[in-house]
Structure 1
């Protein structure tokens, strides 16, 4: 397999340029020591990256793509890892270099951007100092000159007011801006190769679009090569000249990105492409549509079916009116209140039994705080939340505890939601026992039935969370949420962290459960393509307020608010023909929701542009 791939890669490189490759990897094999034995996780991988070229390595979690990039940079722990093969960077064999020589290569000849910038930036140093350090450690440069060059780099990556932000700390930047800082740091010594390991996975769709555009522009300006690691085929289509598909540690297919998308030969490649939700695919469908499921071994695809209408049009099961949640901002020597974060401001909507209402928007818009306010995980300042006609905001602790049987929450990170010291069976049975619904063997039987309902085997009950994959852990969280037979489930970014095929399976599970149990879902997400597929209605939030709400088909086919249009324009489309497109999205950060004391929110007015389709006007955006 590897020899065939190598010949294809070499042929592709020769046709694109007669120049020598910037990066040439041959027979890369990486193993880790596990319980005294060596476990191979990357097997005989070979590829080239030519000057000015973008090569994407794509695959799901566990495929070996990130280990491949870390092996190239020699960032794996020496005692517990073993790298074999040949890695030539500008003709220099990286595996033959000493640790000191390798440190000179990192940043100067090759630089790397990681998925989570907050773990890569030192919180106790200013971002200016950290970028300047990347300049000074690779050459003699005066302090004033380093500062000037750092400001130039910050301007190059489109940081507004770059000079004034030199002395800011990482926590003072948004996620998108922190990722821009990481790119500036990576570019400090003008490397010929930039390795970007899932640099946009944790970002909102608009910020992701900005970062992708930025990498394209910088690549053209600097003439550098890019090795891009991702599991998002939409991102691959928009940025990569060539694509390498990895599966279980092997490079199973490689070629020009257009060929991979149009004529993918391997079943796994076709499965990845088929599982990608495409914005606009719901045209003509009145109700949510299940995701197609593709067998990675055979490539056989099960065609999705439309979900039957189970929405009951009577009195809503959940009715939210004028919900307002604010968090105090303290300042001064005495720590007095100087303002407030207006996280949720005068939000109103209802939710029928069997219906899915999706809340969408960027980080900081207030959608997660809305979900937590409804479930009283945070205490709102004002408004009413009627659950089956009862205002949950007026309940005492004991009454609220009983009411939580009717409204449950699924969180984004299933591993953080599960107690690592409790077996899965005990975790699912715990709410049943705590609420006095069953005990002993009866509670265990109900837990086993719930695990079976979400597609897991009852014999897994004795296992612990670390023994499950991310998708399986999310299924466990869903089973736990179902334990009390709730009427409403708040799903807060519950599929955002999952690989595309697992995301499809979990979304299908949620839709099937909704149909069989007539559950109402408040689905919180920033993934517009997924939202379009699972929703009956959609509400778009910006700075704590709903700016547009209506039936899914109306909002997606005829978005009226400028912010809704911006969200949709930023969604990556899995079509290689769009590779040269620039979205020209504004690089401004989301405006601050912090308001001074005494601030009065303007009275908002909404136009009904179609039945049930409301759009905020005179918003001053």
Structure 2
């Protein structure tokens, strides 16, 4: 006799009212989740994953949405329940973790109060009993010093710790089903590994089922027993995760899998390599090729950074004395040749983005030099700096925040040409059409506004704008982190093609080690504002020396469900704070050369702890 499912979704169709008409965005989706099973729902943005989850929770807007079909929790039909009964089920029997914990937590209430509130409401505990249970839950999700952090506010926690608080809140009432909607997408690779490990561990202990929504196939391989692939509002393929990875039938599933960067796939290759492009309708794939060798090592580097130091002062008040400093970038040195990509990698807070902004002088460094084609950018006045900035451009992580929503994209791309007097208005129009074609968009799209484009198209527009002034250096700050896996592959292929054609130097800032392996010539690993290891890509990935580099590589999800149990143990250590006392003097660091061009910082006792050794081994 088979065990009845915890959740049974049958012919789910969710529609939204658009201009008086009902538009279905999820159509005839069916799946079951067995007790203690993890089901992953995967697909790109707009495929209907999150709407499916919101429909199960009945959290779609009541006036403008319509849910049809059947959703049964332990045999009980949810779609016909009165609102009062449904409120009891939410949080009690079904709990949900959202992608961005800061939007889910109330910033003016302590995290302890918010978790205790759920316990008082759903489990009728007294205030003192709820507080004791909250501390137990915080300890269960591995929040250090849980008792002392009970009265802290969400902004005092890191992104990974805030997500742990959300998991503690979700587990408060011991739900039968946990819905996790992209819970690791915005997190660093090591924090992501911790959260995935925690969800798996708590699932075993509590015996709950998990509906895991993601667009990351590496995460799916890591956590899911079965997988539902969604495309354009429909479930196009369902099956055991191992079967889908080994024998995907639908062309769209094959296109998703082909776009997943696999750590170790570049072994034996010297140069970056394009991602294969798979047709979603036929499933046919092209053969990816290495990019041509465009690095001109004989020439002077496009950019030479020496002893770059950026610190932020912490004062006791507006005019108070300095209490301490954030040592965001400390004595960083590197160079990038024409046609070369140097990847800057590390966790959030390690100083990657501050390094990129300091190089551009969007942030004023404290010390050091940044030579762009031999000119020290840090010594230029504002007029000369504006002239020099034509030669270096930046692509930011969020393309929507980088574009003026009131300006059509043609005007946005033309703006740097007009401001720098590089073209007349008629010449700028022609140049915009050419740039849009170059990044794979149609010239007639110039009249559209940013909200009329997808995330990947918006990032292409930002690349076109950066190319308008024909720069020598592009600083790409997490430029593909927020994109779906297949869109990410398209944008990276575009960047590699443009680099080969225009001999661009890239400073590629990322925390995604699998992408970095695919696109970079050299890699610099940052920790607490310092470069702990730097060298050719094949040396860093093939022969990592520093324990922190090994920790980053060990945390990368393996996009192969058959190798799920091969991973090293995950450290639950938080990245240390870069805040130092006002009189702190940084130690002079020593580096040793492992092989030509491969240097590693000589580390001290702080890296010899068993937790790190377990990972580094």
Q: Does structure 1 conserve the Cα–Cα contact (< 8 Å) formed by 2:123 and 2:173?
A: no
Q: Distance in 1 between matches of 2:83 and 2:566?
A: 41
Q: Which residue in the other structure is 2:37 paired with?
A: 53
Q: CA deviation at 1:102?
A: 1.1
C-alpha contact (below 8 Å) 1:73/1:106 kept by paired residues:
yes
Give how far 1:443 is off. 0.7
TM-score (norm 1): 0.96
Per-residue CA deviation, residues 25-47 of structure 1 (Å, 9 max, x unaligned), is 11100011112221110001111
Aligned to 1:394: 379
Range moving further from structure 2, 423-432 or 582-591 = 582-591
Q: Secondary structure at the match of 2:571?
A: coil
Verify: 1:482 aligned to 2:491, yes or no: no
Match of 1:82 in 2: 66
Which position in structure 2 is the counterpart of 1:8? none
Give the deviation of 1:183 after TM superposition: 0.2
Matched ranges for 1:213-612 at <5 A: 213-313=197-297, 314-331=299-316, 335-580=320-565, 583-612=568-597
Alignment of 1:70-149 (within 5 A): 70-149=54-133
Structure 2: segments with no counterpart, 5+ residues: 608-617
| Runs of 4+ that moved beyond 6 A | none
How far 1:579 sits from its partner (Å)?
3.3
Q: Does the 8 Å CA contact 2:342/2:524 hold for their aligned counterparts?
A: yes
Cα distance change on mapping 1:172 and 1:146 into 2, 3 Å? same
SS in 1 for 2:123: coil
Shift of 1:93: 1.1
The structure-2 alpha-carbon separation of the partners of 1:336 and 1:98, relative to structure 1 and needing over 3 Å to count, comes to: farther
The Cα shift of 1:335 comes to 3.6
User: CA contact under 8 A between 2:558 and 2:564: conserved in structure 1?
Assistant: no
Aligned Cα root-mean-square deviation (Å):
1.0
Aligned to 1:39: 23
Alpha-carbon shift at residue 193 of structure 1 (Å): 0.2
Q: Is the 8 A contact 2:219 2:559 kept in 1?
A: yes
Q: Which runs of structure 2 are paired with 1:151-162 in the superposition (5 Å)?
A: 151-162=135-146
Question: For each residue in 1:142-170, what CA deviation from the matched residue of structure 2 results, as whole angstroms up to 9, or x when unmatched?
Answer: 11111110010001101111111101110
Q: Aligned partners of 1:166 and 1:423: how far apart in 2?
A: 47
Which residue of structure 2 lines up, in the alignment, with residue 164 of structure 1? 148
Q: Is the 8 A contact 1:213 1:583 kept in 2?
A: no
**Secondary structure in 1 aligned to 2:307?**
strand
Give SS of 2:256's match. Answer: helix
Displacement after TM superposition at 1:140 (Å): 1.7
Spell out, residue by residue over 1:340-375, the C-alpha distance to the aligned partner (whole angstroms, 9 max, x if none).
100000000011111000000000000000000000
Whether contact under 8 Å (1:128, 1:150) holds in the other structure is yes
- Larger mean CA deviation between 557-566 and 98-107 belongs to 98-107
Tell me by how many angstroms 1:498 deviates. Answer: 0.6
Deviation at 1:582, TM superposition (A): 5.9
Q: Which residue of 2 aligns with 1:19?
A: 3
Partner residue in 2 for 1:29: 13
Please say if residues 213 and 582 of structure 1, whose CA atoms lie closer than 8 Å, have aligned partners that are also in contact. no
Unaligned runs of 5+ in 1: 1-13
How many Å separate the matches in 1 of 2:603 and 2:451? 50
Deviation string for 1:234-292 (max 9, x for gaps)? 11011111000111000111011111111111111111111100000001111011111
* 1:187 and 2:171 are equivalent in the alignment: yes
Distance 1:138 1:34 in 2: 36
Mapped contact 1:327–1:342 kept (Cα < 8 A):
yes
Report the TM-score when normalising by structure 2.
Answer: 0.97
**Equivalent residue number for residue 190 of structure 2:** 206
Cα contact 1:324–1:344 (8 A) shared by 2 = yes
Contact persistence 1:42–1:250 (CA under 8 A): yes
C-alpha distance in 2 between matches for 1:335 and 1:88 = 60
Q: CA contact under 8 A between 2:308 and 2:333: conserved in structure 1? A: yes
Provide the C-alpha distance between the structure 1 equivalents of 2:127 and 2:139, rounded to a whole number of angstroms: 18
- In 1, Cα distance between equivalents of 2:233 and 2:86: 25
Q: CA deviation at 1:200?
A: 0.4
Q: What SS does the corresponding residue of 1:137 show, helix, strand or coil?
A: helix
CA contact (8 A) 2:6 2:177 kept: yes
Distance in 2 (alpha carbons) for counterparts of 1:105 and 1:472: 40
CA deviations 1:18-69 (Å, max 9, x no partner) are: 2211101111000111122211100011111110000000111111011000
Q: Give the structure 2 partner of residue 10 of structure 1.
A: none
